[in-house]
């Protein structure tokens, strides 16, 4: 039986630097990452892939805004933008993986699942939206948009202008988890919960309704890992290892650490709230719900990280005891 691993790819890692942010540039980045995922499959792992979509949703919203301003086309709701980017990025990852599997003679098929993720309509984030999305506007532009969309909220962002802010509720259930499990059991590499999933809430008659929000992709990935009983959660980022005292003379890269050690580092405020902290919090949630280990590393180190030669490994208490014995 293959060991099940779920790996989260950051949306920013799919956007090239120095203005190389076209769809073709993104596909080049996807192909590079697909090679690293193929390495994992060759090592004998069953793999589920998730991905971020922050920059891509911003691009999509801006396109919609321009089309609305110039020719009066209907604006695209945020929830639909999330679904669109799930499909677009999922298609690229799916094609890149299929092609690399053919080239390497790997007998695996790939499928993308457009995934709805349930959130609570009572989540406090709905009352206090803080997640910036889309483009920057002047105060006058923001006020004009408020007239057309009274429920939209704008906040000043770091002196660069005003941006729309949306809720970022916590995920509570992966709606398509059974479909994802069936594909895994049929030996598919599955791409799911793109961008944290399409946020939905349950209505009074138990049907689903999409809501304009964004779900943190690491929290959604951790929940999916729990619900499909994955042994290992891998979160890719821009560094090969997590560091404490980051950017200081006493900076230290972390190799293997326990849940308790990780919690202590959180209390000591070692992890940046806008970047590493959500990854750490998602890791702890997974490990406290029967996960065995979390690896945080960069995409090129995936194979070495699985062989314990790279990455930061956060281990559940049971795994720490086995090592100690």
**Active-site option among 10, 11, 60, 134:** 11
d(CA 196, CA 215): 5
- Please give the helix or strand (H or E) that residue 140 lies within, else none: helix 139-148
**Active-site option among 3, 12, 146, 292:** 12
Contact 55, 21 (CB under 8 A): yes
Structure tokens at 315: 């281990």
d(CA 189, CA 196): 18
245 is catalytic: no
217 is catalytic: yes
d(CA 175, CA 191): 15
d(CA 133, CA 123): 19
What CA dihedral angle connects 308, 194, 286 and 280, to 10 degrees?
70
Contact 256, 313 (CB under 8 A): yes
**Active-site option among 35, 68, 109, 131:** 131
131 is catalytic: yes
**Active-site option among 279, 285, 303, 311:** 279
Q: How many other CB atoms are found less than 10 A from the CB of residue 24?
A: 8
**Active-site option among 108, 177, 217, 303:** 217
d(CA 193, CA 83): 10
Distances (CA, A) of 216 to 4, 78, 137: 22, 15, 24
Is 292 exposed, middle or buried, given 0-12, 13-18 or 19+ CB atoms closer than 10 A?
Answer: middle
177 is catalytic: no
Contact 134, 140 (CB under 8 A): no
With tokens 């770091």, the residue in question is: 158
12 is catalytic: yes
Query: Taking CA 153 as the corner, what is the angle to CA 150 and CA 158, rounded to the nearest 5 degrees?
Result: 150
User: Which active-site residues does the annotation give?
Assistant: 11-12, 131, 217, 279
């Amino acid at each position: 039986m293959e060991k099940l691993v779920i790996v989260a790819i950051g949306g920013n890692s799919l956007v090239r630097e120095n203005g190389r942010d076209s769809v073709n540039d993104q596909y080049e980045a996807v192909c590079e990452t697909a090679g690293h995922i193929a390495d994992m499959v060759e090592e004998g792992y069953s793999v589920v892939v998730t991905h971020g979509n922050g920059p891509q949703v911003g691009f999509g919203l801006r396109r919609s805004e321009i089309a609305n301003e110039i020719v009066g086309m209907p604006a695209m709701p945020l929830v639909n933008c999330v679904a669109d980017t799930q499909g677009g990025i999922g298609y690229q990852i799916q094609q890149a993986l299929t092609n690399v599997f053919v080239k390497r003679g790997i007998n695996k098929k790939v499928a993308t699942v457009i995934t709805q993720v349930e959130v609570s309509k009572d989540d406090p984030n709905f009352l206090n939206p803080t997640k910036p999305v889309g483009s920057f506007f002047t105060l006058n532009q923001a006020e004009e948009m408020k007239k057309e969309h009274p429920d939209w909220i704008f906040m000043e962002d770091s002196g660069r202008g005003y941006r729309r802010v949306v809720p970022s509720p916590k995920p509570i259930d992966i709606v398509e988890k059974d479909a994802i499990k069936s594909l895994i059991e049929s030996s598919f590499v599955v791409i799911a919960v793109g961008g944290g999933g399409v946020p939905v809430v349950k209505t009074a008659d138990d049907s689903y309704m999409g809501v304009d929000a964004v779900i943190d992709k690491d929290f959604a990935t951790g929940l999916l890992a729990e619900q499909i009983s994955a042994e290992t959660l891998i979160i890719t980022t821009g560094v090969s290892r997590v560091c404490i005292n980051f950017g200081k003379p006493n900076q230290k890269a972390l190799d293997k650490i326990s849940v308790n050690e990780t919690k202590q580092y959180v209390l000591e405020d070692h992890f940046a709230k806008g970047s590493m902290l959500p990854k750490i919090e998602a890791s702890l949630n997974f490990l406290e719900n029967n996960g065995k280990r979390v690896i945080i590393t960069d995409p090129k180190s995936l194979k070495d990280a699985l062989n314990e030669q790279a990455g930061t490994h956060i281990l559940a208490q049971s795994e720490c005891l086995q090592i100690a014995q």
